[in-house]
Amino acid sequence: DQQVKQNSPSLSVQEGRISILNCDYTNSMFDYFLWYKKYPAEGPTFLISISSIKDKNEDGRFTVFLNKSAKHLSLHIVPSQPGDSAVYFCAASAETGANNLFFGTGTRLTVIP
Partner 1 sequence: DTAVSQTPKYLVTQMGNDKSIKCEQNLGHDTMYWYKQDSKKFLKIMFSYNNKELIINETVPNRFSPKSPDKAHLNLHINSLELGDSAVYFCASSPGLLNSPLHFGNGTRLTVT
Q: Which residues bind partner 1 (CB under 8 A)?
A: 2, 31-32, 34, 36, 41-46, 49, 51, 87, 89, 93, 95, 97-103, 105-106
For residues 21 and 34, which CB has a smaller minimum distance to partner 1 in the complex? Answer: 34
**Alpha-carbon span 82 to 15, nearest angstrom:** 6
Smallest gap from Cβ 75 to partner 1, in A, equals 15
For residues 13 and 90, which CB has a smaller minimum distance to partner 1 in the complex? Answer: 90
Burial per residue of 90-112, b for 16 or more beta-carbon CB atoms within 10 angstroms, e otherwise:
bbbbbeeeeeebbbbebbebebe
**Alpha-carbon span 113 to 110, nearest angstrom:** 9
Phi, psi of 73 (to 5 degrees): -135, 155
For residues 25 and 89, which CB has a smaller minimum distance to partner 1 in the complex? Answer: 89
For residues 15 and 94, which CB has a smaller minimum distance to partner 1 in the complex? Answer: 94
Smallest gap from Cβ 17 to partner 1, in A, equals 26
Smallest gap from Cβ 103 to partner 1, in A, equals 4
Smallest gap from Cβ 98 to partner 1, in A, equals 5
